[in-house]
Amino acid sequence: MSGPQIILWVIALAVLALCMRRGMPQARRAVVETNRGFWRILPMFCVALPMAAFLSELVPADIATEWLGDDSGLSGIMIASLAGGIMPGGPFVTFPLVITFSKAGAGVAQMTALLTAWSVYALHRILTWEYPVLGWRFVAMRLASSFFLPVLAGLIMQALLPFFAINLAAP
């Protein structure tokens, strides 16, 4: 297990211990919910991971360099923001795809914009959750106050990159 994984397990067990202190029923419910969540998410994994792997076989190396590479600058950041906004599915889809894009030459700032746009715009989530639950006025209000964030995040990352050595393709 890697460092972050160990940290995660320690935090999870600590919070579970807090639950136990509050009462055994709570702790038991936490474990039952964990089990249920795992089986609910498993089918997603079974299709998302092969999808990302196939796509990374199909995407020719360096094809992303021109559009999304480190030198693509603002236009690359904007393209990545658009792509991130329409990307469907949860993190089990997006993060493997980001690895795929990075192997194909995409830049770190561009991938930051893509991840931010995937979180901020999240077209699939608007259609399936935000619009039905909160209404289109809320969607409009939220987008009006956050539409510029992905490009901003990409630009900040680009400005900071010279000070950090980050390689997404080989973690």
Partner 1 sequence: MWLDPHRVAPFPLSAGEFGGRLYLPPPSLARCAPVLQFARVLHALRRHASLVVIFLIAVTAGLATLQLRGAEAFMTALWHAWDLFLFIVPSLVAGLLLAAALRQLLSPDALARLMGAESGIFGLFIATLVGTLSPGGPMAAFPLVLVLAGAGADRGALVAFILAWSLNGFQKLLVYEAPLLGLDFALLRTLITFPMPMIAGWIARRVPIAWEPPK
Residue numbers 50-79 binding partner 1 by CB under 8 A: 50-58
| Distance in Å, CB of 72 to partner 1, minimum | 18
Residues 6+ apart with CB under 8 A from 99: 52, 56, 168, 169, 171
CB of 32 to partner 1, least distance (A): 8
Q: Are 169 and 98 in contact (CB under 8 A)?
A: no
Which residue in the set 31, 61, 74, 86 belongs to the binding site for partner 1 (CB under 8 A)? 31
**Contact between 24 and partner 1 per CB under 8 A:** no
Q: Is 19 in the site for partner 1 (CB under 8 A)?
A: yes
Nearest to 73 by CA among 164, 170, 146, 159: 159
* Member of 64, 104, 106, 108 binding partner 1 (CB under 8 A): 108
Structure tokens given for 38: 């795992």
**What backbone torsions phi and psi does residue 167 show, to the nearest 5 degrees?**
-130, 110
Question: Site for partner 1 (CB under 8 A): which residue of 65, 67, 78, 90?
Answer: 90
Q: Does 133 bind partner 1 (CB under 8 A)?
A: yes
| Burial tier of 50 (Cβ tally within 10 Å: 0-12, 13-18, 19+) | exposed
**Nearest to partner 1 of 82, 155 (CB atom):** 155
**Is 106 near partner 1 (CB under 8 A)?**
no
DSSP 126: I
Q: 79 or 108: whose CB is closer to partner 1? A: 108
